[in-house]
């Protein structure tokens, strides 16, 4: 007998059945591609409608399942066959074509005759079918149905084709349910494990005492910064940029009271203008980036990218200022700035591109300009204190540290408590008439005399955000002062079996609405794929000032649990007391500032002689000394302290010692009068001023 036949169509199939001596009844009808259609074909009682399922694994082994149409085909039976259910997929159209030369809606056991490559490894027959006299099957095409006995199919058809077949129970309801539960549990375990892993990746792996590494981790894990492939440039993510926007709004409001107007000057600068103020250009030229090309062409004249905008703005000032009535002229701009620095870049603290504001004013008298310088300095102190909760010391820079081309520079300096390094927070310069003479910014005074304008310039950068992070962050991550936090409060529902989830979510939403009305910035974290523990960690790391937890206890008692990020204080408040949260946030701000101030103060020591000076420096302090105010002396201190600190052991008490010179940070505005006979701590000449020395950022 020819056991190598193929069945290209219905007629060939029916002919072959006849040839094999298989008894059949045939019904012709419209196509019945789905089981829904199939069962509409009238067949005899005792005839089972057969569901034909073609499975395939990743290695293209095919398995044809013939199941009673009412059988829920489970997964367990695969195991009986030594196969993994997880590997099995229902065949797609093209796979049906590959294995059976057939198509979807036309899968049937007769088509196995067309599997000339022996891809179908087994035909699995539902034990249920053994209970029926006949099976209703399609003879290749679903426009007919034949009724034949299972026995004929097995022994007269499949055996001739040399095909393996197995009769099996396809569903074990209890077992299948058990399996399903088991898989669900496994899935949950996996997710919890992932949660744990996430927590571990999320967690900062070092303590704050390992300061540099800690800082790098905090800024990334709190989602403030993303790294970028141009050295010294960083991406400010929304969590950080929001802080900058708060600073912008706060400072804009302050300078508006001084009638400063915002403006925008071009970023490019011709060499001619840049070179106009000699001291100024000397101070910046090594760091200036130059555009020399566009497209494929060279520019006629290279253009500098602004490192600061004095020389960009002042030619225009000269046009605008004619009479004393055009003064004061006060403008400000918020821009990006480029300084191609060589020192190791640190996000926020020292970057090659950064954001800042720069204010520029011109006045008719020196007094007025000097007053402007100090008013702005006060504003900077407010930005640091009232927004960022960072204390600063107002002072004047020494001659060697002042702004290149200016007359004198005032500064707000802070000291990072962790390492005692000084950090220049913002500077406000008195430019005198240096620039106005170079750029011919002159005016006719009320006595018709020509006079040069008196000028100021002042700037505050994204560096301020870095100082804030360094001051307040802790081992768990970022700690945001409330006034700059994008979310001041995060609400976390604690789902519990005793609590109706929908009711809980409604309560949380209700609380959120109350807080919005209180003008608080609030976020409800109702994600269902993270555990409360994961969320606690996440928002702690991002520094959100207050977490509100609502669990079964809080729900029942109409309370919320308040957890303060800054000091981890936890307490309950009633729903009707939610309006206290504004005050609570203010209290947190004040407490953070107080603590920061005391941390800063602990890093300022006094010294009367060189030995004490170096000893304090090596204990990571800044040092306030009497000083002769001579540049030569300042230079010597810088050199000597650099040399001597290199000679020290690199570790003291297990702590890595900082090396590097001490330089002057500032001469604080608030300082005692120096008496005749009080001497410079270093050179022994008559002292003139107290000055603060330290290593610096």
Q: Which residues bind a second copy (CB under 8 A)?
A: 226, 228-230, 233-238, 241-242, 244-245, 261-270, 272-273, 285-296, 302-303, 305, 315-316, 319-320, 325, 331, 335-336, 338, 340, 353, 355, 527, 529
Q: How far is the CB of 399 from a second copy (least distance, A)?
A: 24
**CA dist., res. 555 & res. 439, Å (int):** 69
The pair of three-digit structure tokens given for residue 94, joined into one six-digit string: 């093209």
b/e code 227-258 from CB counts within 10 Å (16+ = b): eeeeebebebeebbbbbbebbeebbeebbeee
Q: How far is the CB of 79 from a second copy (least distance, A)?
A: 23
**Beta carbon nearer to a second copy, 262 or 433:** 262
**CA dist., res. 153 & res. 170, Å (int):** 19
H/E element holding 106? Answer: none
Q: How far is the CB of 452 from a second copy (least distance, A)?
A: 21
The pair of three-digit structure tokens given for residue 327, joined into one six-digit string: 């003064």
- Dihedral of CA 255/257/258/261: which sign? positive
Q: How far is the CB of 270 from a second copy (least distance, A)?
A: 6
Q: How far is the CB of 225 from a second copy (least distance, A)?
A: 11
**Beta carbon nearer to a second copy, 263 or 557:** 263
Q: How far is the CB of 651 from a second copy (least distance, A)?
A: 36
**Beta carbon nearer to a second copy, 72 or 342:** 342
**CA dist., res. 97 & res. 90, Å (int):** 13
**Beta carbon nearer to a second copy, 103 or 246:** 246
**CA dist., res. 456 & res. 608, Å (int):** 35
Please check whether residue 557 is in contact with residue 575, taking contact to mean a CB–CB distance below 8 angstroms: no
**Torsion on CA atoms 651, 656, 662, 663, rounded to nearest 10:** 170
**Beta carbon nearer to a second copy, 75 or 682:** 75
Q: How far is the CB of 453 from a second copy (least distance, A)?
A: 17
**Beta carbon nearer to a second copy, 76 or 318:** 318
Burial status of residue 179 (CB atoms within 10 A of its CB: 0-12, 13-18, 19 or more)? middle
The structure tokens 């020819």 sit at 2
Query: Taking the CA of residue 642 as centre, how many other CA atoms within 13 Å lie in the half-sphere pointing to its CB?
Result: 10
Please check whether residue 536 is in contact with residue 502, taking contact to mean a CB–CB distance below 8 angstroms: no
Burial status of residue 143 (CB atoms within 10 A of its CB: 0-12, 13-18, 19 or more)? middle
**CA dist., res. 434 & res. 177, Å (int):** 87
Helix ranges (DSSP H) in 529-630 = 532-541, 552-556, 581-601, 610-618
Q: How far is the CB of 286 from a second copy (least distance, A)?
A: 4
Q: How far is the CB of 383 from a second copy (least distance, A)?
A: 19
Q: How far is the CB of 617 from a second copy (least distance, A)?
A: 32
Burial status of residue 117 (CB atoms within 10 A of its CB: 0-12, 13-18, 19 or more)? exposed
Residues 6+ apart with CB under 8 A from 47: 132, 133, 134, 135, 136, 147
Helix ranges (DSSP H) in 655-694 = none
**CA dist., res. 329 & res. 558, Å (int):** 57
**Beta carbon nearer to a second copy, 239 or 627:** 239
**CA dist., res. 230 & res. 520, Å (int):** 38
Largest CA distance in the chain: 130
Give the count of beta carbons closer than 10 Å to the beta carbon of residue 57: 16
**CA dist., res. 246 & res. 485, Å (int):** 9
Q: How far is the CB of 496 from a second copy (least distance, A)?
A: 23
Q: How far is the CB of 288 from a second copy (least distance, A)?
A: 6
**Beta carbon nearer to a second copy, 140 or 453:** 453
Among residues 697, 694, 673, which one has the least CA distance to residue 624? 694
The pair of three-digit structure tokens given for residue 142, joined into one six-digit string: 């679903």
The DSSP call for residue 345 is P
Q: How far is the CB of 379 from a second copy (least distance, A)?
A: 19
Q: How far is the CB of 476 from a second copy (least distance, A)?
A: 22
Residues 6+ apart with CB under 8 A from 37: 31
**Beta carbon nearer to a second copy, 30 or 245:** 245
């Amino acid at each position: 007998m020819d056991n190598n036949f193929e069945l290209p169509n219905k007629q060939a199939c029916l002919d072959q059945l006849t040839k094999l001596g298989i008894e059949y009844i045939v019904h012709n009808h419209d196509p019945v591609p789905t089981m829904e259609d199939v069962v509409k074909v009238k067949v005899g009682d005792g005839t089972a409608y057969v569901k034909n399922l073609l499975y395939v694994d990743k290695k293209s082994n095919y398995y044809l399942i013939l199941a009673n149409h009412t059988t829920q085909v489970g997964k367990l039976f695969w195991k009986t066959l030594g196969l993994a259910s997880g590997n099995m997929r229902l065949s797609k159209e093209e796979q049906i074509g590959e294995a059976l030369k057939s198509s979807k809606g036309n899968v049937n056991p007769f088509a196995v005759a067309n599997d000339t490559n022996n891809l179908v490894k087994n035909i699995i027959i539902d034990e249920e079918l053994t209970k029926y006299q006949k099976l209703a099957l399609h003879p290749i095409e679903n426009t007919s149905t034949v009724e034949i006995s299972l026995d004929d199919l097995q022994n007269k058809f499949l055996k001739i084709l040399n095909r393996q077949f197995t009769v099996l129970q396809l569903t074990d309801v209890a077992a299948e349910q058990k399996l399903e539960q088991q898989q669900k549990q496994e899935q949950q375990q996996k997710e919890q494990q992932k949660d744990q892993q996430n927590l571990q990746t999320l967690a900062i792996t070092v303590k704050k005492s390992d300061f540099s590494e800690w800082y790098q981790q905090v800024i990334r894990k709190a989602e403030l910064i993303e790294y970028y492939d141009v050295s010294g440039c960083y991406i400010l993510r929304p969590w950080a940029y929001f802080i900058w926007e708060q600073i912008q709004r706060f400072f804009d409001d302050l300078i508006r009271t001084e009638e400063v107007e915002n403006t925008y000057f071009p970023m490019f600068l011709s060499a001619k203008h840049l070179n106009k103020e000699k001291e100024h250009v000397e101070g910046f030229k090594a760091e200036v980036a130059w555009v020399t090309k566009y497209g494929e062409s060279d520019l006629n004249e290279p253009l500098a990218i602004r490192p600061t905008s004095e020389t960009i703005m002042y030619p225009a000032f000269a046009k605008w200022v004619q009479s004393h009535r055009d003064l004061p002229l006060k403008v400000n701009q918020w821009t990006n700035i480029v300084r191609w620095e060589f020192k190791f870049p640190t996000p926020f603290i020292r970057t090659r591109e950064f954001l800042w504001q720069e204010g520029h004013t011109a006045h008719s008298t020196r007094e007025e300009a000097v007053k402007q310088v100090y008013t702005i300095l006060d504003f900077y102190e407010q930005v640091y204190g009232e927004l960022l909760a960072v204390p600063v010391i107002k002072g004047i820079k020494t001659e060697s540290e002042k702004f290149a081309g200016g007359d004198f520079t005032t500064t707000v300096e802070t000291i990072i408590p962790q390492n005692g390094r000084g950090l220049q927070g913002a500077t406000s310069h008195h430019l005198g008439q240096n620039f106005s003479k170079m750029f011919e910014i002159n005016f006719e005074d009320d006595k018709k005399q020509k006079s040069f304008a008196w000028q100021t310039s002042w700037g505050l950068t994204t560096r301020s955000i870095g100082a804030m992070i360094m001051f307040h962050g802790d081992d768990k991550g970022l700690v945001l002062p409330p006034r700059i936090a994008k979310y001041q409060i995060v609400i976390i529902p604690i789902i519990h079996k005793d609590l109706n989830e929908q009711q809980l979510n409604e309560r949380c939403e209700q609380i959120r609405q109350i807080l919005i009305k209180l003008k608080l910035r609030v976020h409800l974290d109702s994600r269902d794929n993270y555990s409360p523990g994961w969320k606690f960690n996440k928002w702690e790391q991002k520094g959100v000032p207050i977490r509100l937890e609502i669990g079964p206890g809080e729900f029942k008692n109409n309370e919320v649990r308040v957890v303060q990020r800054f000091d981890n204080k936890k307490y309950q408040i009633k729903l009707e007391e939610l309006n206290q949260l504004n005050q609570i946030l203010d209290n947190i701000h004040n407490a953070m500032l107080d603590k920061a101030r005391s941390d800063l103060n602990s890093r300022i020591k006094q010294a009367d002689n060189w030995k004490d000076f170096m000893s304090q420096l090596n204990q990571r302090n800044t040092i306030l000394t009497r000083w002769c105010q001579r540049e030569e002396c300042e230079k010597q201190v810088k050199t000597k302290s650099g040399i001597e600190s290199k000679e020290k052991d690199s570790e003291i008490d297990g702590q890595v010692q900082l090396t590097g010179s001490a330089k002057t940070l500032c001469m604080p505005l608030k300082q005692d009068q120096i008496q005749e006979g009080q001497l410079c701590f270093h050179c022994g000449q008559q002292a003139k001023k107290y000055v603060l020395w330290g290593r610096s950022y």
